[in-house]
Amino acid sequence: MKKGYIVLIVIAIIVLGIFFWFKGSYNGMVNMREEVAAQWSNVENQYQRRLDLIPNLVNTVKGYASHEENTLTDVVNARAKATQMQINLDQLDEASIKKLNNVQGELSSALSRLLAISENYPDLKANQNFLDLQAQLEGTENRIAVERRKFNDVARSYNAYIQQFPKNILAGMFGFTPKPYFEANAGAENAPKVEF
């Protein structure tokens, strides 16, 4: 009789141990996936902040540099393209990150050319509104870099967690997939050329 109870207690302990391990592992993956989603949202918010600053900057420059129409058009077109680029976290993969990097890189390049115009227009360069917008844009670029780095950190932790044995088995059963990282665009180590 005593052996029967001991066996039942041991089996119950093993079953409870397995249950709590599954529960903890699954809930850990869910929490980490939500951290990745929240950080992705922070990256998108900073990109949106930059997109919101651009029309004011373009309008300010337009008043001083009306014959720089090509540069202004390039910025407006790059902004429109970046605005249309929406990536859902579930669709986030290396190809979509690369496409987002390319679109944002085109926008950054167009903005660099727009900001370089100020060198040819002393009145624009002295305009307080332009200076404020330029400072906000520079701050936003820094925020974008910080949020992208934070996203990479959170994604790395999540990816490592779901790929560890035996959690990788559980991750595969419930559809937890690795998230890609932001990487520098090819040629990013070279300074952009600005020509007029």
Q: What is the pLDDT of residues 14-51, one digit of tens each?
A: 999 999 999 999 999 999 999 999 999 999 999 999 99
Is 49 within 8 Å of 143 (Cβ atoms)? yes
CB atoms within 10 A of CB 112: 14
Spatial distance between the Cα atoms of 112 and 117, rounded to a whole number of angstroms: 9
Counting Cα atoms < 13 Å in the Cβ hemisphere of 182 gives 22
**Predicted local confidence at residue 161, as pLDDT:** 96
What domains appear along the chain, each with residue ranges and CATH number? 2-174 (1.20.1440.20)
Q: Which of 57-61, 123-127, 178-182 has the lowest mean pLDDT?
A: 123-127
User: What is residue 131's predicted lDDT score, i.e. its pLDDT?
Assistant: 86
The reported pLDDT for the residue numbered 133 is: 87
Residue 163 has pLDDT above 90, yes or no: yes
Indicate the pLDDT class of residue 61, thresholds 50, 70 and 90: confident
Closest CA to 44 of 159, 150, 129: 150
Separation CA 97–CA 94 (nearest Å): 5
Cβ within 8 Å of residue 94, ≥6 positions away: 180
Dihedral of CA 161/167/169/173: which sign? negative
CA dist 130 and 19 (Å) reads: 61
pTM summary value: 0.79
Tens digits of residue pLDDT in 114-158: 888 878 887 877 788 888 888 899 999 999 999 999 999 999 999
Contact 151, 182 (CB under 8 A): yes
Question: How confident is the model at residue 128, as a pLDDT?
Answer: 85
**3 state DSSP class of 145:** helix
Helices (H), the chain: 2-64, 69-84, 94-117, 122-126, 128-163, 167-174
Average model confidence (pLDDT) across the chain: 87
Looking at residue 6, its pLDDT comes to 92
Contacts of 196 (CB under 8 A, 6+ apart): 116, 117, 120
Q: With left for phi above 0 and alpha for psi between -120 and 50, is residue 38 left, alpha or beta?
A: alpha
